[in-house]
């Protein structure tokens, strides 16, 4: 488990609520405005614009016949370092649950291509059931040494000497444990927090210790690209493909850099 802040934490907050964002929107610090009528899938809909407390903007499309929300849309990066993408989520398969119509299917499409990014289909939804209090309590689990290692690297992210001390001491204590994926996770989280130089130093060490692991090289390349060190980033992406010629993310990264340089 790694605690997040910034954009990653914001994305979790936006979609973690139990009730829909239009419910009690004023109490949540949001503002909603009716923007008028439009057409979606050949049927008239009312368009409502919702601006959340942190400025995040979403649009909701309400069918004029059923008055159910049939779609929502927003513009946001699809991951921490991606370009902003406009996506439309189609909301359908409404079924009565305890006297309320509740959607059972959600499909998110990248627009204007219409390519499906993700979808979710509920088999059934129940309401008004007695549930154990323990279901809503934080999970209790004993962290493994590797999980504690990731947490410590992340917590020490502002002090690179502490990060590298923890790294080397852990590797000395567990010489037979593969830490490549764990360090990639920690490095990526540190990178997302904007602590770029520390992330690069950690990921460079990861490559030195695991030169034949493609994701180690790819993780370093991603950090170097974020820092604007594009020549070095390209070299790491190319080395990733030398180790694994079928590494799709490295291919996509190089293609993206080529498009930018045209």
Model confidence, pTM: 0.60
Question: 208 — phi, psi (to 5°)?
Answer: -60, -35
Question: In this structure, are residues 63 and 90 in contact, taking their beta carbons and an 8 Å threshold?
Answer: no
Quote the pLDDT of residue 219: 95
Place of tokens 């909603």: 32
Query: Torsions phi, psi of 41, nearest 5?
Result: 55, 45
CB atoms within 10 A of CB 12: 10
CB-based burial, 216-246: b 16+ in 10 Å, e otherwise: bbbbbbbbbbbeebeebbbebbebbbebeee
CATH 1.25.40.10 segments of the chain: 145-261
Handedness of CA 87, 3, 156, 167 (dihedral sign): negative
Q: Given this model, what pLDDT does residue 7 score?
A: 59
**Strand (E) or helix (H) holding 104:** strand 100-110
> What is 39-84 written as a DSSP string?
EETTEEEEEEEEE-TTS-EEEEEEETTT--EEEEEEEEESSTTSPE
Q: CA dist 256 to 85, 97, 203, 246, Å?
A: 15, 46, 22, 17
Please tell me the predicted confidence (pLDDT) of residue 131: 87
- In the three-class reduction of DSSP (H, G, I as helix; E, B as strand; rest coil), residue 197 is classed as helix
Which residues of the chain are in CATH 2.50.20.10 domains?
A: 29-123
Residue 117: per-residue pLDDT? 86
Q: Tens place of pLDDT for every residue, the chain, 262 residues? A: 555 556 556 666 777 777 888 999 998 889 999 999 999 989 999 999 999 988 889 999 999 999 999 999 988 766 656 667 889 999 999 999 999 999 999 999 988 888 888 899 999 999 998 988 888 887 777 889 999 999 999 999 989 999 999 999 999 999 999 999 999 999 998 988 889 999 999 999 999 999 999 999 999 999 999 999 999 999 999 999 999 999 999 999 999 888 876 6
**CATH topology for 145-261?**
1.25.40
- What is the model's pLDDT at position 8? 58
Three-state DSSP state, 109: strand
CATH architecture under which domain 29-123 falls = Clam (2.50)
Going by C-alpha positions, the residue among 243, 260, 261, 241 that lies closest to residue 251 is: 241
pLDDT of residue 194: 86
């Amino acid at each position: 488990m790694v605690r997040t802040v910034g954009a990653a934490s914001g994305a979790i907050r936006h979609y973690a609520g139990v009730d829909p964002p239009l419910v009690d929107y004023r109490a949540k610090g949001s503002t909603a405005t009716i923007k008028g009528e439009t057409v979606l899938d050949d049927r008239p809909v009312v368009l409502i614009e919702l601006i959340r407390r942190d400025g995040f903007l979403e649009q909701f499309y309400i069918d004029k016949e059923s008055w159910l929300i049939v779609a929502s849309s927003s513009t946001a990066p699809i991951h921490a370092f991606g370009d902003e993408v406009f996506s439309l989520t189609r909301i359908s398969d409404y079924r009565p649950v305890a006297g309320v119509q509740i959607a059972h299917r959600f499909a998110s499409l990248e627009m204007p291509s219409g390519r499906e990014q993700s979808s979710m289909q509920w088999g059934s939804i129940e309401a008004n059931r007695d549930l154990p209090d323990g279901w809503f309590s934080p999970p209790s689990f004993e962290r493994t040494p590797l999980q504690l290692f990731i947490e410590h690297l992340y917590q020490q992210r502002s002090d690179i000497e502490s990060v590298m001390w923890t790294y080397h001491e852990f590797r000395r204590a567990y010489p037979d444990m593969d830490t490549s994926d764990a360090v990639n996770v920690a490095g990526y989280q540190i990178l997302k927090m904007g602590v770029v130089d520390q992330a690069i130093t950690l990921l460079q060490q990861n490559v030195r210790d695991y030169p034949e692991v493609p994701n180690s090289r790819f993780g370093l390349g991603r950090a170097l690209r974020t820092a604007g060190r594009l020549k070095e980033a390209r070299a790491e992406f190319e080395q990733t493909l030398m180790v694994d010629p079928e590494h799709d993310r490295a291919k996509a990264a190089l293609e993206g850099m080529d498009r930018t340089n045209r």
